[in-house]
Amino acid sequence: MFFLKEYKARKIKAPNNFTNRRRIMFSNNKNLIFLLDKRFSWMKKFIKGKKTIVELGSGNGCIKKIINNKKIILTDIIKYPWIDKKVDMLKINLEKKYKKKVDVFIINHSLHHCANPALTLNRISSYLKKNGYILINEPETSFFLKFIQVVLDDENWSLKANVFNRKNIFNPKNPWISNTAVAQLLFKNEKKFHKNFPQYKIIENKLSEFFIFLNSGGVNSSFFHVKLNFFFLKLLNLIDNVLIFFLPNIFALNRTTILKKINETK
């Protein structure tokens, strides 16, 4: 399984974002809160004092559980009641008033649902201010992520996809189709990324999450977990960091990437 380059789930599963939102927003699950805090709290320093912040593919809107910032504009291809704007990530159909006016874009575990991530990153650039940021969390296609996806028949991955040629890497008609290898393909080779996207600079590119995700109780689904207090959750996170430091291709389940716009696109 470690050597598999592709996997296609037998059935595309759509999460129930109404149920998941209620479960997350009113959760007293310390494990889940700890995980969400790890995913979002670091973003606060990048959005502090910023005027225009747009999250793409907000889904259940769980960012609001951690970051209580009214300036974050939640967008999604489906207009849930908590979503501020209906935006197709493939088209980035924001109004003209946002052209070169957005300070920060946030993409949390949604870029892998975009059929043409390279095109999306280019279109984002036309809305992002110079020196603006794109803050990204995405799945990392390690051995254990592959294992989980096969066992649960959860999502697709393809390490063969060409994410730089501006062509769709899967059918965009279903918003739940995905390729969880997208972030790895885009960002692992930083030199290749910068060659294809000279308008951006990767200023952070790190791997995280193993036990803290597996024992979180689930973000887009609910599953069994062992309840822990924050002391043991911090200890678990420390163990994750050690495992990922020595064996990233085995254990890492999340990639965090920060892009800074340094040039205007031609």
Q: Is the pTM for the entire model greater than 0.95?
A: yes
pLDDT above 90 (res 264): no
DSSP 149-195: HHHHT---EETT--TTSSS-SS-TTSTT---TTHHHHHHSSHHHHHH
pLDDT in tens, 217-232: 999 888 899 999 999 9
pLDDT above 60 (res 127): yes
Give every CB contact of residue 127 below 8 A, 6+ residues apart in sequence.
54, 92, 94, 98, 99, 100, 101, 102, 105
pLDDT in tens, 157-212: 999 999 999 899 999 989 999 999 999 999 999 999 999 999 999 999 999 999 99
6-261 carries CATH number 3.40.50.150: yes
Separation of alpha carbons 248 and 250, rounded Å: 5
Of all residues in the chain, the percent with pLDDT exceeding 70 is 98
pLDDT in tens, 77-102: 999 999 999 999 999 999 999 999 99
Structural domain boundaries in the chain: 6-261
> Sorting pLDDT into bands at 50, 70 and 90, what band is 48?
very high
Lookup result for tokens 């960012």? 63
The whole-number average pLDDT for the span 141-147 is: 96
Mean pLDDT for all residues in the chain: 95
Q: Contact at 8 Å (CB) between 146 and 5?
A: no
Please name which of 146, 126, 115 lies closest in space to residue 8, comparing C-alpha atoms: 146
* pLDDT at residue number 4: 80
